[in-house]
Structure 1
Amino acid sequence: MLTLSPPWLTFDLGQPMQILSFAPHNGGLVEARRILWREVRNADLSEDLDAIAWLEAQLEDREATDAVCFLTSRRLDAHRSATATEDGVTATAVVTAGLSNAERIGTRLPQTWMQPAKDWGTINIALRLSCPLGQTALIEALSLVAEARTAAVLEARTDLPTGRATGTGTDCIAVAVPKGCAAFAGKHTAAGHALGRAAYEATLAAVKDWQRDAEGW
């Protein structure tokens, strides 16, 4: 269930799950019931601010330090979601996307190239999978979400001086699944099929929405 209450977006997973992520709060492999987004503006994050400590304090005030949490400057009502089911396995992806600090993998643009005061763009993806996975399969699932993200960004065709964008410099992904022992979640499995489609569709929709909004810069 999704709840939007700016500056927060909450993805309630319905039960405690194992979550693998590289989110700024509670990253790594943890058990949690919620994945949150905290909307920020550049004015909130000065150069001398410890953003991780600031986020933790915000979560303490909300009594939500147990959650996995993203930071985004994208307005939260622009989040997009998609659900896909394959052979009884259901995946739900929730995405916020901005490409103002887009990069092409293996290259790095100078910070002076970024749009003024719009350099905190990121793609944040939370994906919930209905079927239990073991830790090895969970790592594979996260890699497929990253592949789906990249495929969607490539299709959206954002060209940079270094080539076509494949993501941003600050993307984050979190994948939540029930604990289990399944060893594989590749493209030939129902889990890989469902999560790949959900992540791709939600990311493409979110990126295209951002592109339409960005035309007004």
Structure 2
Amino acid sequence: MLTIDCRRPWLTVRFATPHRLVSWAPHRPGFVTAREVAWREVGVGELGPEVDADRWFADELAQAGLADAVGMLTARNVASYVCGTAKVEGVRAGAIVTLGLRNGERIGARRVLAPEGAGTINILATIDRPLTDAALLEASALVVQARTVALIEAGYRAARMDAAVTGTGTDCVVMAAPATPEGEPYAGMHTAVGEAVGACVLAAVRQAAADWIGAPPSRD
């Protein structure tokens, strides 16, 4: 069970119980136990070459009472977040996504010129079953796969690209499951856990991409 609190510049997800998370988030990356995941919307001029982004973000989180949260950054309006849910054989999964594509890239190649803005895709995926660390990593890989499929289906092409983007240069994924001493050891596509995770992320990214492509903001 979780609650979502969106009060710009913050989007905060709170779990009713401690969760085990894996991510490459800017704040508290790797394997951690936490009860909150927070997005910080970055305004124009807040971060620049002269700013220590890690320290700035840690200070912002501390001032907001979120020092123990896993934290992500985005230039996207956090109120644009999209949720997706899925239930497979009694297993429930959910995804919360903020998405901007101004920073879009195609895997295996980088654009020569840096794009304007700082669009990114931030995804929190949750499952109601405890997972081992290995299964948590496996589920995280499925989140990335589902995101990529949704983007290819959307067909968005950034400047100087001959094919659809497959992500952005600053994407972040957080995968979360209840923290207990033992968990399910597998979360691949042959499992109910893997199907549920993939389905909810696919639905949420499809909708978020359609929203952005239909009305791209002046900045992400």
The TM-score with structure 2 as length reference comes to 0.93
Cα separation, 2, equivalents of 1:135 and 1:49: 34
Equivalence for 1:206: 208
**Alignment partner, residue 169 of structure 1:** 169
Q: Deviations for 1:31-75, whole angstroms, at most 9, x for unmatched residues?
A: 000111000124111111111110000011112110001101110
RMSD: 1.4
Distance (Å, rounded) in 1 between the aligned partners of 2:59 and 2:215: 31
- Identity level (%): 39
| Aligned residue in 2 for 1:62 | 64
Match of 2:95 in 1: 93
Cα deviation, residue 200, structure 1: 0.8
Stretches of structure 1 lacking an aligned partner (at least 5 in a row): none
Q: Normalised by the size of structure 1, how large is the TM-score?
A: 0.94
The ranges of structure 1 where at least 4 consecutive aligned residues each deviate by more than 2 angstroms after the TM superposition are: 160-163
Aligned pair count? 213
- Aligned pair partner of 2:186 in 180, 184, 187: 184
**Does the CA contact (< 8 Å) of 1:13 and 1:128 recur in 2?**
no
Of 122, 125, 130, which aligns to 2:128?
130
Spell out the pairing of 1:1-217 with structure 2 (5 A cutoff): 1-112=3-114, 114-115=115-116, 118=117, 120-160=118-158, 161-162=160-161, 163-179=163-179, 180-214=182-216
| CA-CA distance at 1:216 after TM superposition | 7.0
Paired with 1:51 and 1:153, the residues of 2 have a C-alpha distance of: 28
For the structure 1 residues 215 and 181, does the alpha-carbon distance in structure 2 shift closer, same or farther, using more than 3 Å as the test?
Answer: closer
Show structure 2 runs of 5+ residues with no match: none
